[in-house]
Amino acid sequence: MPTPATDSSSQRSLIGDAPESPRTVEIDLEAREGAWEIAPGQVVEGWMYNGQVPGPTIEARVGDTLVVRLKNSLREATTLHWHGVRLPADMDGTSLVQLTVGPGESFEYRFALVDAGTYWYHSHNNETVQVERGLYGALIVRDETEPVVDAEQVLVLDDILLDENGEFASFDGMQQRHDGRHGNTRLVNGRVGPEISIAAGQIERWRIVNASNARYILLSIGRPFRLLGTDGGLVEEPITMSDVLLTPGDRVDIAVGPFDEGDTVSLGSLPCGHAATEIEQFASIRVGERQASKAFIPDRLRTIERLAPCDALPTRQVLLGHTMSADGAVDFTINDEMHLNDHPATVGELQVWDILNNSHMDHPFHLHGFFFQVLSVDGVPPEFVSWEDTCNVPANSRVLIAWMPDDRPGRWMYHCHILEHHAAGMMASFEVVRPGERVMHAGPHSCHT
């Protein structure tokens, strides 16, 4: 039986090999309820794109224009967010920039893809429920020159919380609001404990997405692998690692192999102090018959210009915190406010944000629409430079990031990617304005079709 990771019907790419000139990649996505078979004979009530979880993997190349017609056949409103993609503000899929798409309505997303990398798309309305129930998928953007590998796999990791009847557990409760919704059922590409196959002797590129609401994954395959890329595409050089942290919303591209025939390997999460106390297995890896390899991973992948030194002067403070509300629930805040309205950033003016977490728990910080570089964590520069849209801000720590607003004015947001924290207030919106221009207070626009 084919495994989900290689099953061409569930994870087939929507476009095949195509000519080199920029194309328009058109896709229809219908959000609807349906039976989500997480294991043979084990079905939960999913909300999915085109009846599958993950939704179809969208593949395109830098320069292509992506056109996605979203039809909402759910019984509640939705929107579609393109996590990590540098697109125009009005295509970002938040309720800051568009009216939500009501039941029976449609919306067309259209934007050019400017950066190669591993992205994902997910609902951005009632996310704590809609993403948990399966409204997410991967978006792969390739460049003309990429490291040569023998094969590529897209692995979307998730964990869902089921009750004793095997249905989605209640979405309410103080604990979920406080800790985030940690699941009890781990999934890869929408399936429990699948088997991933790789030929002995070969090197594959695995594009990994953490689509879970709240789970931190300290990813390990029980032996070293090479990090090729992060949220915003390739790193400068492949980095040999034995594990890598994926917060909710994060992606990594890794080169795995070569393995020997008969090796038993598995993909799991090491204990990392985030609810996990033992190795949690996500998938087993079956090493098949030896095959020739054509893989070529250069020592130098690209050059990333440093935006700022590690001790750059901050231009903005972002304080992640929480307070107790009158009814005893925890409210999550930024600069002591829930759903903060933050001040504007000007196109072309370097942003150095000092993100301070004075709470006792880690928060994954996510900036929409722009990539940033981590300059330092508690004053210590990271071991390598990378482009990120999501990074961990450890408990009682400060993370300094830098990013440059390019000419895409409009309303943007940043938030904690533990979806329950986002919903409970840990988010802010702000305007990107052109120099000399005033903030426009236009409301969300509609372009329902």
Residue by residue, DSSP assigns 319-367 as EEEEEE-TTS-EEEEETTBTTEEPPPEETTSPEEEEEEE-SSS-EEEEE
Instruction: Give the count of residues interacting with ligand C2O (CB under 6 A).
Output: 9
Q: What SS3 state is found at 41?
A: coil
> Is residue 366 within the footprint of ligand C2O (CB under 6 A)?
yes
Can you read off the two tokens belonging to residue 251?
Answer: 């992606």
Q: What SS3 state is found at 75?
A: coil
Letter string b/e over residues 121-142, b meaning 16 or more CB atoms within 10 A of that residue's CB: bbbbbbbbbbbbbbbbbbbbbe
From Cu ion, ligand C2O, none, interface partner of 421 (C-beta below 5 to 8 A by class): Cu ion
Task: Collect contacts of 17-24 with beta carbons under 8 A, ≥24 apart.
Answer: 20/144, 22/61, 22/63, 22/64, 22/65, 23/60, 23/61, 23/64, 23/65, 24/64, 24/65, 24/66, 24/67
Is the alpha carbon torsion for 12, 13, 14, 18 positive or negative?
Answer: negative
Residue 83: CB minimum distance to ligand C2O, A: 4
Task: Provide the strand spans (E) within 363-408.
Answer: 363-367, 373-377, 390-393, 397-403
337: amino acid identity, one letter: E
Nearer to ligand C2O, 373 or 429 (CB): 429
Q: Which of 129, 160, 416, 433 binds Cu ion (CB under 5 A)?
A: 416
In whole angstroms, give the CA distance from residue 327 to residue 330: 9
> Is residue 356 within the footprint of Cu ion (CB under 5 A)?
no
From ligand C2O, Cu ion, none, interface partner of 207 (C-beta below 5 to 8 A by class): none
Nearer to ligand C2O, 226 or 411 (CB): 411
Is cis: bond before 314, omega within 30 of 0? no
> Is residue 83 within the footprint of ligand C2O (CB under 6 A)?
yes
From Cu ion, ligand C2O, none, interface partner of 83 (C-beta below 5 to 8 A by class): ligand C2O
Nearer to ligand C2O, 220 or 386 (CB): 386
Nearer to ligand C2O, 125 or 351 (CB): 125
Q: Which residues sit opposite 434 in a β-bridge?
A: none
Backbone φ, ψ for residue 147 (5° rounding): -55, 145
Q: Which of 55, 249, 257, 258 binds ligand C2O (CB under 6 A)?
A: 249
Contacts of 302 (CB under 8 A, 6+ apart): 233, 234, 236
From ligand C2O, Cu ion, none, interface partner of 366 (C-beta below 5 to 8 A by class): ligand C2O
Identify whether the C-beta of residue 23 lies closer than 8 Å to the C-beta of residue 64. yes
Residue 90: CB minimum distance to ligand C2O, A: 15
Residues of this chain, 107-146, that bind ligand C2O according to CB under 6 A: 122, 124
Residue 85: CB minimum distance to ligand C2O, A: 10
Distance of CA 127 to the CA centre of its chain: 13
Nearer to Cu ion, 247 or 386 (CB): 247
Q: How many CB atoms lie within 10 A of CB 322?
A: 21
From Cu ion, ligand C2O, none, interface partner of 249 (C-beta below 5 to 8 A by class): ligand C2O
Residue 240's H or E segment, with its range, is strand 233-241
> Is residue 421 within the footprint of Cu ion (CB under 5 A)?
yes
Nearer to Cu ion, 53 or 217 (CB): 217
Nearer to Cu ion, 274 or 421 (CB): 421
Nearer to ligand C2O, 122 or 205 (CB): 122
From ligand C2O, Cu ion, none, interface partner of 418 (C-beta below 5 to 8 A by class): Cu ion
Can you read off the two tokens belonging to residue 189?
Answer: 């590409």
Residue 417: CB minimum distance to ligand C2O, A: 6
Q: What is the DSSP-derived secondary structure letter of residue 317?
A: E
> Is residue 415 within the footprint of ligand C2O (CB under 6 A)?
yes
> Is residue 363 within the footprint of Cu ion (CB under 5 A)?
yes
Q: Which of 86, 177, 368, 421 binds ligand C2O (CB under 6 A)?
A: 368
The residues binding ligand C2O (CB under 6 A) are 81, 83, 122, 124, 249, 366, 368, 415, 417
Which parts of this chain interact with Cu ion (CB under 5 A)?
A: 363, 416, 418, 421
